[in-house]
Each structure stands twice: as structure tokens, then as C-alpha cells.
Amino acid sequence: MTERNNTDLFENMPVAKAVRTMAVPTVISQLIVLIYNIADTFFIGRTNNPYMVAGASLILPIFNITLSLSGLAGVGGGALISRLLGEKRPDEARRVYSFSVYLGILLSAMFSLATLIFMRPLMNLLGAGRDTYDYASGYAFFVIVCGGVPTVLSNTLATLIRSVGESRRAGFGITMGGIINIILDPLFMFALLPDGMEIMGAGMATCLSNCIACAYFVIVLIRMKNDVLRMSSPLRFPTRKSILGVFGVGLPSSVSTLLFDLDYVIIDRLMSGYNDIALAAVGIVLKAERLPLNVGIGICQGMMPIIAYNYSAKNYDRMNDTKNYSLKLGLVCAVISITLYELFAGQIMNIFINDAQTVSLGTDFLRIRVLATPLMFLSFFHVYLFNGFGKGGYAMFLGAVRWLVFNIPMLFLLNGLVGMYGIVWSQVTADILTVALSLVTYRCYAKRAFASVSAAV
């Protein structure tokens, strides 16, 4: 796609087609990322060792923290690049691109080193017990310590490439990495490594696949010769306002992801207080529920550059049309997901593990958790809207209240009142409050910011 065609996508292409052009590759890549994360659990589950499954599940929140770092550099930089293009300022957009890449590399290297140094206390914090510690720490070494930088950099580059309208190339790179991971998993786990080291084989496969995806993006950027996506000296900083703009959106995005992961850590921690079977069951459910959630996030990620561009260009009619179409599309997908998960929850659990107790408990958990799908989509949808506007303060407010005021306290409250099933019901209960707050916050902002146009949700 040429730069002229990119501009046409942002300005003239029919809204439904533009959103699909941006969202479909992103949704596919999100699903593949989820599938390769699930693939680890699937292949580890073939060992029928619930302690190994639990060990891998414990690392999911830490792996997602690495993705939050790519959110800081990628989402913050990408949203600003789209707005700068809407303002016709490609030179500043180029400097923001370089700054975001350097930022992603630095943050991921620091996080990987910190994980290596503080491995034992980190595993203890996550709730790794005597039977799960070795599995969890071995998996973390390859996925986080060795694979942290390529994981963050590949996701950061994908978001930055998407910000100029090149969603297909961004989606292909993430999809390719995921497919390679799925292929390498059984090779490393069951062919190259001995019995008992399957979880380390899964970690090696994930690390290598992310390295290959990162190499792909570097090659694509060299061949694209896009004037905006071009590295400059690390000493050529963007303006102070632009740097603040990157952090203003990227930091709330990163913090929201961290709080999301903290919610998962607390779920694991609370569930481990019952038994390892419950921990293994909820670990599978937390991955399975991400499929419809990732579809919604993919739609939001595809929508955001179009929103950002037209917001800065003051084309509010096109911006609102994009918002409304994306909202309807996400809600339809959420309803379809609920229907399928309610019907086939038992079969989904059986895909991952054959242990009867784990399957029975996980089936109940999944049917409850999936009810929150449309609520979770609406919550993320409004955060991405504010990110597109460059209003990170609003996004930070919604994210902080969602997790620190509603979700996490609800976990402890319902666990104390109801027990194990209260942990599972907490998401639906808390997100009802979150959606209500999100709708009120957006309406108040829209009434003030778009007084001259229709901005109803």
C-alpha cells in the first residue's frame, strides 16, 4: 500500500471498508497470538500433569507485562504518529517513531534483566509452590529473560506500522510468529527435549518464534522505505510536547495492561489457596476467555489509527462513523462468542487436558467468565477511543478505576462471601460498574469537546 493509498484509507475510503481493512489483519494476528499462547497450554496439557499446566499459567501475567511495555512504546507512539499525520506533520512523526523504537528496546532489556535477578521472589509472589516452582521458573527464563526484547520490539513495530495504515503487514508479522510458535512447540517439547522438560521446550519455541517475527519486521521496514517509519539518531529527539504525548497515552495503556495482569495474578493467588486442580482449571479458562476478548481488542486496535487521524484532522463526522461501526461490530462478535462458549465449554476444556476434575471445574468457570465478554469489550473500547484522542488522562482514569476500585476489590469481596466461585463471578459484577462509568465519562467528554457535532454513543 503506497502512502497515497494510506491517506485515502484515513480520509476517503468508506468507513466500513476502512475499519475492516485495518481491523481484520489485526484481529487475525490477535487470534494467532492467543492461539500460540494457548498452544503452549495445549501441548503441556498433553502431559496430563496439572502441576506443569499450573506452572505455565502462573507465567501468563508476567508474559503479558512484557506486552504492556510494547503498549507504552507502541500504543503511545502509534497513536501520536496517526494524529501527527492528520495534522500533516510527517517530520515530527518520523522522530516519534524512532523515539518509540529506542524506548521499547530499553524498557524490555531492563525488564528481562530484572526478571533474571529476582526470579525466586517473583515466583513466590505469583504463588508458585513446591510442585510448580521449577516448571514456572524454567518457562519464565526462556519466555521472559531470553525472549523479552524480541517480544516487545516485534509488538511495538507492529503497532507503529499499523499507525500509518499498514495493518496488513503488521498483522502478517505477528501472525507468522504465532504460526511458527505452534509448529515449533511439539518439535521442542516432544522430539528435541527429554520427558519432564516439555515446559522448557514450549518456552524455547516461544522465544525463537518471537525472534523470527522481530527479524521479519526489521526486513519489512527496510524494504518499505516509508518516510515516517525511518530510524534516526537516538540524539534527535522529538519535541517535548511529543515525548509527553507518547507517555501521555502509552503510560495509561501500559498501566492498564499491568493492572489487568495484576488481576490475573490475584485470581491465580486466590485460587491456589483452594487446590492445584482449581488453579490449573482457572489457568486454562483465563486463556480460553481471551479469544473473544482478543477479537474485540483487534477491532479497537484497527479502529484507533483512523479515529486518531480524523480527530486531529477535525473530521468529526468520519471519526464518529468509525466509532459507531466499530462498536456494533465488536458487540456482535461478543454475543456470538457467548453463545458458542456456553454451548461448547466442556469440549473446549477437553482440548487442553483430559483430567476429569480439571475439566469439570473449568467448564463451570468458563461458562461464568464468558458472560463478561461484551462488558469487557465496551471497557476496552472507550479506553482506545481516548487513546486515539490523545487523552491519556481519561484512559488512565478509566483503567485505574476499573481495576483498583472495581475488579480487584470485587475479587476479595466475593471470594470472602461466596468462596471459589465468587472469584469467577467477580469479572461480570465489576465490569457492569466499569461500563456504566465509561459511558458517563465519554458522554461528558463528547458533550464538551464535540459540541458542534453529534457525538452520541
Q: What is the pLDDT of residues 177-198, one digit of tens each?
A: 888 988 998 898 888 887 777 8
Is residue 430 within 8 A of residue 293, CB to CB? The reply is no
Give the integer Cα–Cα distance in Å for 303 and 22. Answer: 7
Cell numbers found for residue 191: 522430539
Residue 425 lies in a domain: yes
pLDDT tens sequence across 299-340: 998 899 999 999 998 898 899 999 999 999 999 999 998 999
DSSP state, residue 371? G
Q: What pLDDT was estimated at residue 112?
A: 92
Q: What pLDDT was estimated at residue 454?
A: 47
Give the integer Cα–Cα distance in Å for 352 and 369. Answer: 17
Residue 457 lies in a domain: no
Closest CA to 25 of 117, 158, 207: 158
Closest CA to 14 of 225, 301, 434, 306: 306
Q: What pLDDT was estimated at residue 234?
A: 67
Cell numbers found for residue 144: 521472559
Residue 455 lies in a domain: no
To 10 degrees, the CA torsion angle through 308, 311, 317, 319? 20
Q: Which amino acid is at 318?
A: R
Q: What pLDDT was estimated at residue 1?
A: 43
Range of the domain at 319: 3-449
Residue 67 lies in a domain: yes
To 10 degrees, the CA torsion angle through 228, 230, 236, 238? 30
Q: Which amino acid is at 51?
A: Y
Instruction: Give how many domains the chain has, as a whole number.
Output: 1
Residue 134 lies in a domain: yes
Give the integer Cα–Cα distance in Å for 200 and 194. Answer: 10
Rg of the chain, C-alpha, whole Å: 21
Q: What pLDDT was estimated at residue 457?
A: 42
Q: Tell me the C-alpha to C-alpha distance, in Å, between residue 93 and each of 99, 142, 273.
A: 10, 35, 49
Residue 456 lies in a domain: no
Helix axis angle, 316-352 to 276-288, nearest 10°:
140
Give the integer Cα–Cα distance in Å for 16 and 234. Answer: 39
* Sign of the torsion angle spanned by Cα atoms 345, 346, 350, 356: positive
Is residue 54 within 8 A of residue 129, CB to CB? The reply is no
pTM comes to 0.80
Mean pLDDT (the chain) is: 85
Residue 402 lies in a domain: yes
The DSSP H or E segment spanning 381 is helix 373-389
Is residue 69 within 8 A of residue 216, CB to CB? The reply is no
DSSP-based three-state secondary structure for 221: helix
Residue 430 lies in a domain: yes
Q: What parts of the chain have a pLDDT lower than 50?
A: 1-2, 5, 452-457
